[in-house]
Amino acid sequence: MKKILSETLIYGIGAILPRVIVVILNYLFIKNITHKEFATFSNLYAGISFVNVFLSFGFETAYFRFSSDKEKEKLTFSTSFVFLLALSGFFLLGIIIFLTPIACFLGYSQNPEYIFWFAFIAFFDTLCVIPLASLRFHNKPIQYTLIRVATALSQSVIVIAMFLYIPQVVLENVNLKEKVSYPFISNLLASFIGFLLVLPILRQFKFIISIKLLIKMLRYSWPIMIAGMAFMINENFDKFIQKYLIPDHDAGAYGGCYKMAALMTLFVTAYRMGVEPFFFKQMNRENAKHTYAKVTEYFSFFSSAMALGIIANISWLKNILVPNSTYWIALDIIPIIVIANLFFGIYYNLSTWYKVTDKTHFGTLISFIGAIITILGNYFLLKKYGFMVSAWTTLISYLCMMGISYFLGQKNYPIPYRKRKILFFISLMCLLSFVISYYTRYDFWIGNLIFILYSGIIIVNERGFILSKINYKR
């Protein structure tokens, strides 16, 4: 447990810093671009998330799975990288050849360069997937974090310079006429820098491909890729489709406030970076199920307190992260999305059973159920009832995925969770979140008093675990 916490902290810095920067730079974007441009910003980043999932093809998880045989780790690395290089290369070539019709189809006939830039972003990001996964597998969180931090800082420095220091006439002379293009260009340059930083890792390997191993990895990974696509539907379909179903003003406000809710996503992402390779390394140990149960329980307790802490402090966080008050019409989506991300984090823990038993098709099934809920809810209700529909469908989708994964997991790979205690704390957190948002309207003092009381209840109930860790350190 101590190892997970320490590695999660280090991985978290590298894994979530790019997202943190986007959240922080949200202030700069909202100050300088219109609601319509922010809707474009949200739409394109939602779109590229699907591309990234397809191009990575579930090979990050497949690499962890097949590298568990140490004798085949190098072959697994080279096979994975060569496959992703070929896949992303063909994708990039296709975009270059058919750029104009693709841009017209997506509604960007006036700015086909946006599609061109994002194709290169996806290409360079894909080339970094396996090298970065290798650092995680070999327990090199510091090196991993340094690369991710350097990439993120490069992006932030470039975009800040473009908004604040480089004369606009200079940028217009290089065909950067719309300010919304500044984040796109900075992301492209940062992705290229990230690729340059992983080159030393690539030089350690001979790039050969084992067809036999590739077939095994494809059989394992394609359901994960499909599940990843379904997850991206849950995560980004709302922001993608809003551009076409609701006014740009509302879509921009939703996208702006969603960045605040992403504070919870940052924690879940950091946790996932540290725990995924750990779970695979535990799979053959005698007490693996007990370990999975403990990790899931303490994640549930800690993350529920964090979720409530975010909700309790919306009153002042909005002034920092969403400084334009015209965006605050979407403020009430934040508690819903925060709790939805908590449910996804728990689902991720519960999904361990089908990954370690090579039954990844169950993950595809569960994710598709969630995706169907998201698509139907947004398609049929969004235009009539507005952006709150998107928030609620996200929460309902993750709640259903969490429940289904639990029940299927207990039938196929029973794990002794303390489900009553987990359910109690999650239910209490949801109730208190409703009180803070609906009855107190995000009052700072009342909200934080509730947060402190809730955290105190968790500490008292889990004092044995906390004291054991304190005594262990001594």
Taking the complete model, does pTM exceed 0.75, yes or no? no
Q: What is the pLDDT of residue 473?
A: 47
pLDDT tens sequence across 219-247: 888 888 887 787 788 777 888 788 788 88
Sign of CA dihedral 229, 231, 236, 238: positive
DSSP alpha helices (H): ranges in 246-332?
A: 248-282, 288-312, 314-321
Residue 13 has pLDDT above 70, yes or no: no
Distance CA 116, CA 162 (A): 20
pLDDT mean over 366-371: 88
- Residues 82-96: what's their mean pLDDT? 94
Confidence label for 18 from pLDDT (cuts 50, 70 and 90)? low
Query: Stretch 194-218: mean pLDDT, rounded?
Result: 87
**Between the CA of residue 107 and those of 45, 100, 251, 374, what are the distances in Å?**
15, 11, 16, 23
pLDDT, one tens digit per residue, over 149-186 is 888 889 889 988 888 888 888 888 877 878 888 888 99
Q: What tokens appear for 423 in the block? A: 């359910």
* 343 pLDDT higher than 90: yes
Mean pLDDT of 16-39: 71
b/e map of 336-347 (b: 16 or more CB within 10 Å)? bbbbbbbbbbbb
Does 409 or 285 have the greater pLDDT score? 409
Better pLDDT: 37 or 162:
162
Tell me, what's the pLDDT at 474? Answer: 47
| Alpha-carbon torsion (408, 412, 413, 419), positive or negative | positive
- The 8-class DSSP code of residue 205 comes to S
pLDDT score, position 237: 84
Report how far residue 280's alpha carbon sits from residue 455's, in angstroms, rounded to the nearest whole number.
31
Mean pLDDT of 431-446: 93
List, as own/partner pairs, every contact residues 443-449 make where C-beta atoms lie below 8 angstroms and the sequence separation is at least 24, other chains included: 443/315, 444/312, 444/313, 444/315, 444/316, 447/311, 447/312, 447/313, 447/314, 447/315, 448/312, 448/313
Alpha helices in 33-140, H assignment, sequence order: 35-56, 59-66, 73-97, 99-105, 112-127, 129-137
**pLDDT digits over 310-324, tens only?**
999 999 988 877 877
Q: Is 58 left (phi over 0), alpha (psi -120 to 50) or beta?
A: left
State the CB neighbour count (10 A cutoff) for residue 410.
Answer: 15
- Give, as one character, the DSSP assignment of residue 425: H
Using the Cα atoms of residue 52, residue 55, residue 59 and residue 60 in order, give the sign of their dihedral: negative
pLDDT higher than 70, residue 20 = no
The two three-digit tokens of residue 55, written as one number: 């191009």
Six token digits for residue 172: 């217009």
Q: What pLDDT, on a 0 to 100 scale, did the predictor assign at position 396?
A: 95
Provide the H-helix boundaries in 33-58.
35-56
Cβ 373 vs Cβ 294: under 8 Å: no
pLDDT for 244 equals: 80
On the question of pLDDT at 258 being above 80, the answer is yes
| Whole-number Å distance between alpha carbons of 116 and 126 | 16
